[in-house]
Chains A and B, each alone.
Chain A
């Protein structure tokens, strides 16, 4: 009987086989557990990519043009003390995990071989680091090469029985290094007999066992820190090694534990599924760093997490799992301002003995909180509190901050001694970060970028490491970069791949003269229309232009023409990807960070006056009473007659001597816009207010000279009304064409509880009623909120009401039911963004969908996939919010700079009241600032806080009471905060 087997026999050609397999267990999200077998075909044509090697050049795979990709590694790599002949570096996984910031340094770490084994391990351990590593390999200057060692026959090793995966991977790295060394040696020999300079291939690892084995096998290897020590500016570089690792070794002696252990992942997922635990994002209160809220899907209101211990090492922004505490531990939300810097000023970064997670002072502050919560059982009802039991996902990023002066032991710049210092993040919600540095003296007074590496149970503060210095505190460059980093705004110049997508003609691009040109296909010639644009002064990226004319039947034809960006930005090319990443243009006081390259944004797409431009037009027939008879969408070519600023337009409209068609058209628009606005308000649209100020800067130096609140003209609302109308029309059209995938924008109705506090405040303080059952009710009751003696009171209430609202968001039509589409603030059933494609990615997507809806061009696949669109929406929602925040932060900084050295008395209003301070809003500068009791007098005066009536009775010498909505006169000065070194506007009561 013949003996044959079903198994693939690799016993026959062992060691020579070009087939291997990899077996592992995969657990899917739905709970399935599968055994996965991957067959691996080993090959011999994976090049070493060293320019020294000719053999590999011959075997390297060629693409369809018969070219091989050019080799990456230099033929003359930099040397070092131990390896004078030059070296190629092969870092292991941990080297990347701990030293990613180092590898990104421009001046060092060139000619690095990234092994596939290592890359995959990095991917498993940390996705953000993996993305950074991949970005590095694409950076040509750094010469990083990914070598697929697991696919190359000579470097593939199979796992031995009883060997752990880690050991196997370490062995694979050593095997690859060894192969590389012999390979390079042979390559050099083959090249010329005389050449003696053979670069070494050096493994970089911090694993002792791995180093030992490498030494035993004669493989060149070195520790990361040893390698860095040999480089120039080693001090700075050494600071950039992640602290997570060596800390463990140092700390192993200490056994004091401050925080409870986190639950295992499986325990958490079970708990969350069973409903006994809840998952949400950890949000620290900006007023009280000891209080955080976690919004979980199960409950309407957020759960409170009080104190460091309950926070259990969560950092603001992390996705955490919480457990609700028993009702006897429930508390009312804080009425007190607690700032870390004032409570824990004297912590020592260096010494940890006797450290407790709750310092005595913190504990006292908490106790007072509890007392208060128990005292006011009727009003501020105790709210459910929770404690963090585990962290699902760390959302640690890089934090901008400055070194705490008090934590620095020796400030001498010459001292190279390593010391532990505190970095105080700009974001008050982030705890101090303990970093180890050799350059403490130099870093004092600088804006410093750092990251968190770990937060062990036995450490009160997280451990991190220095990334780089942004420059002097308060210098414009450093502060601007700081706020861009804080709000995660991508501000690097556009890469070449993006610029390659621009039209080759550059600024000379013109609308083709001949209407037979393919560019004209499907376009309407609207060059005869008297179109003009109205924008803020100095605007260069003109998104929109308008026209209106009377039709023979007595109705009006109104057109909104939007820059046709989708003509230039095709889906899925590099420029489109970059734009979708950036999501929006960010406007800072002195700077604009564009979503699209300048050429498009300010020239080719921009609807500049006197030139022909491609546009996407929305045309309506509107009756005298502003009822819409019909709407029509078309791609078009227009020629704008004039670009007005709001003010110019207003003057022109108001000046009766202008009786030309263009001006009359604008008058028609204005007339219609007023009617549209009235209709909107009748339907219940909200007129909300946010403090908007403008910083006037000197034209040359862009140093701020003055601050003004923005004036709103009729022309502002003229443009706004028609943009809203266009957006609504397009939203309806897109939804009709793509009921599943239309990209829309919604504004959810705020939960009633959001208005509770404000309504109560108004009732108690002013006897006014705020009804919140519908947006119409809110709008009407807001109109009633008038204080005859104080015209600003209404605006103040509107500002406060705005803060009770939800934020509007982009979404994909298929993910929500139609009633949920509603835009609460605009009182519109459906809404999208269409009118600013130059500065918003959402608008660009809406353009593409509309173009497909009117059969102008087919819809790209990416816009048909709901999941892809959801990803896009999620990103642009975040970007949008960040851009707003960055813009606000920029204004805040400039307001501070404009007030530098000034001493002004201004009127302000009390907006929020705490038991030990209150917030005053100054309309003139749009600033709000906290005045603490201790700012009123020293020693801090006693005060009685009447929470039910929102009155704070200050006793002692000051003897005055402060109440909510009160108009107060404040003295505005500026002050450099001693601990942060940051200039801040300081308000004091007069």
Chain B
């Protein structure tokens, strides 16, 4: 399932070994030694960069990677689905608890459950890759997955029984993919969606939609306040990238750090709608760490040049390597991620004051400020 690594890490086994050992110290020493394990790289973000889109954003990271996202909304005719009308009568028939489950969110009640996955389309473009290459496709599907997971966005695209908005999100990586760009793309998409607006609807109910021609009257795709004026509203999700090196967990890895990771985890999270603090996970994926593909170093004992004995056969070599202990010689990590580690990562991400909350608040501040 893992995509091929975008750019090869040109590090020698000795360098890899050094990096890994410094990252697995307590506390870990990162490549940028000023940063702690939870620190993100600094970035520049701005929104509304593309005037003719419904919403757009650009984020540039300090390592030079940069992404641009434009959100376009178009009115589209919905296919007639008889079960949409039938659903209400059905819920009555099934029982009371269905209705109760529907009752907790007041706003957009009539739209609930009417959105369809096909109404959101994300395309990712990365320089040097074809659009059907594995990396862009995989990135796009991960972004789509997290966007659809909460279900609230697609419901918001519902206009009436016959029409809906079709949201096209164009994600463009402006720089070569120096590090795994998922987190960057997701943050840029988040900001673009947060600032996206849809023309205000003037017609009612099932009429052909008619819109206010005043752009200033357009309504935000993600309203800032709910019907009661509270700030507890749905926000677009973000994806946080975390790596595990030994027992250490490090967020927002740079390219080299990624190269020595034991495991990589992409956690998609949205602000929790129960309370204003913390976040909830909407999607989670492990990503095959590039370290798996690095060639192992040759220990002195197996190197005839340094007085060792070169193994006679491949099987022999494998046995010898299995027997090697952690001797400081680079060995590509093997196997998956430990359960306890995953739960540790998720709690660090979604917990109160966790990474997700921090990132969302920071991006929100860009718009407000």
- Residues of A whose CB lies within 8 Å of any CB of B are 1, 3, 5-7, 21, 23-27, 31-33, 35-37, 159, 161, 165, 264-267, 269-270, 273
Q: Which 7 A-B pairs have the closest CB atoms?
A: A266-B203, A266-B210, A270-B207, A266-B207, A6-B49, A23-B215, A37-B51
Q: Given contacts A1-B44, A33-B199, are A6 and B58 in contact (CB under 8 A)? A: yes
Q: List 15 A-B contacts (CB under 8 A).
A: A5-B46, A5-B49, A6-B49, A7-B49, A24-B213, A26-B213, A33-B209, A37-B51, A264-B204, A265-B210, A266-B202, A266-B209, A267-B207, A270-B203, A270-B206
Interfacial residues of chain B within 38-52, with CB under 8 A of chain A in the complex: 42, 44, 46, 48-52
**Could you say which of A3, A33, A37, A165 has the most chain B C-beta atoms within 10 Å of its C-beta?**
A33
Nearest-neighbor residue (CB-CB) of A26 within chain B: B213
Which A residues are in CB contact (< 8 Å) with B48? Answer: 7
Which A residues are in CB contact (< 8 Å) with B207? Answer: 264, 266-267, 269-270
For the complex, give the distance between the alpha carbons of A265 and B206 in Å: 13
Nearest-neighbor residue (CB-CB) of B47 within chain A: A7
Partner of B208, one of A5, A25, A37, A270: A270
> Beyond A5-B49, A24-B215: 14 further Cβ-contacts under 8 Å?
A25-B212, A25-B214, A25-B215, A27-B211, A31-B75, A36-B52, A37-B52, A264-B203, A265-B210, A269-B207, A269-B208, A270-B207, A270-B208, A273-B208
B199 contacts A25, CB within 8 Å? yes
Nearest-neighbor residue (CB-CB) of B58 within chain A: A6
Is B74 in contact with chain A by the CB < 8 A criterion?
A: yes
For the complex, give the distance between the alpha carbons of A5 and B202 in Å: 35
Number of A-B residue pairs, CB cutoff 8 Å, is 78
Which A residues are in CB contact (< 8 Å) with B208? Answer: 31, 266, 269-270, 273
Which A residues are in CB contact (< 8 Å) with B233? Answer: none
Q: How far is the CB of A304 from chain B (nearest CB, A)?
A: 27
Interfacial residues of chain B within 174-232, with CB under 8 A of chain A in the complex: 199, 202-204, 206-216, 218
Q: Binding site of A, secondary structure by majority: helix, strand, loop or mixed?
A: mixed
Q: How far is the CB of B59 from chain A (nearest CB, A)?
A: 11
Which B residues are in CB contact (< 8 Å) with A1? Answer: 42, 44, 60, 62
Partner of A33, one of B44, B53, B68, B74: B74
For the complex, give the distance between the alpha carbons of A748 and B166 in Å: 45
Nearest-neighbor residue (CB-CB) of A31 within chain B: B75
For the complex, give the distance between the alpha carbons of A269 and B212 in Å: 16
B53 contacts A35, CB within 8 Å? yes
Is B294 in contact with chain A by the CB < 8 A criterion?
A: no
Nearest-neighbor residue (CB-CB) of A27 within chain B: B211
Partner of B74, one of A3, A26, A32, A270: A32
For the complex, give the distance between the alpha carbons of A6 and B67 in Å: 12
For the complex, give the distance between the alpha carbons of A593 and B75 in Å: 51
For the complex, give the distance between the alpha carbons of A273 and B208 in Å: 9
Q: Given contacts A27-B210, A266-B207, are A35 and B215 in contact (CB under 8 A)? A: yes
Nearest-neighbor residue (CB-CB) of A272 within chain B: B208
Which A residues are in CB contact (< 8 Å) with B210? Answer: 27, 264-266
Is B283 in contact with chain A by the CB < 8 A criterion?
A: no
For the complex, give the distance between the alpha carbons of A27 and B46 in Å: 29
Nearest-neighbor residue (CB-CB) of B174 within chain A: A6
Is B54 in contact with chain A by the CB < 8 A criterion?
A: yes
Q: How far is the CB of B180 from chain A (nearest CB, A)?
A: 21
Which B residues are in CB contact (< 8 Å) with A21? Answer: 51
Nearest-neighbor residue (CB-CB) of B206 within chain A: A270
A266 contacts B204, CB within 8 Å? yes
Q: How far is the CB of B38 from chain A (nearest CB, A)?
A: 21
B211 contacts A25, CB within 8 Å? yes
Nearest-neighbor residue (CB-CB) of B208 within chain A: A270
Q: How far is the CB of A278 from chain B (nearest CB, A)?
A: 16
Number of chain B residues whose Cβ lies closer than 8 Å to a Cβ of chain A: 35
For the complex, give the distance between the alpha carbons of A273 and B51 in Å: 34
For the complex, give the distance between the alpha carbons of A37 and B213 in Å: 12
Nearest-neighbor residue (CB-CB) of A269 within chain B: B208
Which B residues are in CB contact (< 8 Å) with A32? Answer: 74-75
Q: How far is the CB of A22 from chain B (nearest CB, A)?
A: 9
For the complex, give the distance between the alpha carbons of A267 and B209 in Å: 9
For the complex, give the distance between the alpha carbons of A21 and B206 in Å: 34
Which A residues are in CB contact (< 8 Å) with B77? Answer: 31
Q: How far is the CB of B56 from chain A (nearest CB, A)?
A: 9
Which A residues are in CB contact (< 8 Å) with B206? Answer: 270
Q: How far is the CB of A205 from chain B (nearest CB, A)?
A: 22
Q: How far is the CB of B168 from chain A (nearest CB, A)?
A: 13
B54 contacts A35, CB within 8 Å? yes
Which A residues are in CB contact (< 8 Å) with B74? Answer: 32-33
Q: Given contacts A33-B75, A266-B209, are A165 and B215 in contact (CB under 8 A)? A: no
Nearest-neighbor residue (CB-CB) of A2 within chain B: B44
Nearest-neighbor residue (CB-CB) of A162 within chain B: B216
For the complex, give the distance between the alpha carbons of A330 and B258 in Å: 80
Which B residues are in CB contact (< 8 Å) with A27? Answer: 210-211, 213
Q: How far is the CB of A643 from chain B (nearest CB, A)?
A: 61
**Could you say which of B48, B53, B214, B218 has the most chain A C-beta atoms within 10 Å of its C-beta?**
B214
A35 contacts B199, CB within 8 Å? yes
Q: How far is the CB of B34 from chain A (nearest CB, A)?
A: 14
B49 contacts A165, CB within 8 Å? no
Nearest-neighbor residue (CB-CB) of B62 within chain A: A1
Which A residues are in CB contact (< 8 Å) with B42? Answer: 1
Which B residues are in CB contact (< 8 Å) with A159? Answer: 216
B202 contacts A25, CB within 8 Å? no
Partner of B213, one of A3, A25, A264, A266: A25
For the complex, give the distance between the alpha carbons of A36 and B52 in Å: 6
Q: How far is the CB of A202 from chain B (nearest CB, A)?
A: 30
For the complex, give the distance between the alpha carbons of A265 and B202 in Å: 10
**Could you say which of A36, A37, A270, A273 has the most chain B C-beta atoms within 10 Å of its C-beta?**
A270
For the complex, give the distance between the alpha carbons of A24 and B51 in Å: 11
Which B residues are in CB contact (< 8 Å) with A23? Answer: 51, 215
Nearest-neighbor residue (CB-CB) of A5 within chain B: B46
A267 contacts B54, CB within 8 Å? no
**Could you say which of A32, A35, A36 has the most chain B C-beta atoms within 10 Å of its C-beta?**
A35
For the complex, give the distance between the alpha carbons of A854 and B290 in Å: 77
For the complex, give the distance between the alpha carbons of A27 and B206 in Å: 17
Which A residues are in CB contact (< 8 Å) with B75? Answer: 31-33
Q: How far is the CB of A262 from chain B (nearest CB, A)?
A: 14
Which A residues are in CB contact (< 8 Å) with B52? Answer: 35-37
For the complex, give the distance between the alpha carbons of A37 and B52 in Å: 6
**Could you say which of B44, B51, B60, B74 has the most chain A C-beta atoms within 10 Å of its C-beta?**
B51
For the complex, give the distance between the alpha carbons of A336 and B203 in Å: 42
Which B residues are in CB contact (< 8 Å) with A33? Answer: 73-75, 199, 209, 211
Q: How far is the CB of A371 from chain B (nearest CB, A)?
A: 39
B214 contacts A24, CB within 8 Å? yes
Q: How far is the CB of B216 from chain A (nearest CB, A)?
A: 7
A7 contacts B46, CB within 8 Å? yes
For the complex, give the distance between the alpha carbons of A264 and B210 in Å: 10
For the complex, give the distance between the alpha carbons of A33 and B74 in Å: 6
A267 contacts B213, CB within 8 Å? no
Which A residues are in CB contact (< 8 Å) with B50? Answer: 6
Q: How far is the CB of B39 from chain A (nearest CB, A)?
A: 16
Nearest-neighbor residue (CB-CB) of A28 within chain B: B75
For the complex, give the distance between the alpha carbons of A819 and B46 in Å: 63
Which B residues are in CB contact (< 8 Å) with A266? Answer: 202-204, 207-210
Mark contacts of B49-90 with chain A using CB atoms, 8 A cut-off: 1 yes-contact digit, 0 otherwise.
111111000101010000010000111010000000000000
For the complex, give the distance between the alpha carbons of A273 and B206 in Å: 12
Nearest-neighbor residue (CB-CB) of B200 within chain A: A25
**Could you say which of B58, B73, B207, B209 has the most chain A C-beta atoms within 10 Å of its C-beta?**
B207
Which A residues are in CB contact (< 8 Å) with B218? Answer: 25
Nearest-neighbor residue (CB-CB) of A164 within chain B: B214
Nearest-neighbor residue (CB-CB) of B46 within chain A: A5
For the complex, give the distance between the alpha carbons of A265 and B207 in Å: 9
Q: How far is the CB of A842 from chain B (nearest CB, A)?
A: 37
Which B residues are in CB contact (< 8 Å) with A7? Answer: 46, 48-49
Which B residues are in CB contact (< 8 Å) with A5? Answer: 46, 49
For the complex, give the distance between the alpha carbons of A6 and B45 in Å: 11
For the complex, give the distance between the alpha carbons of A270 and B206 in Å: 8
Q: Given contacts A24-B213, A266-B208, A270-B208, are A3 and B44 in contact (CB under 8 A)? A: yes
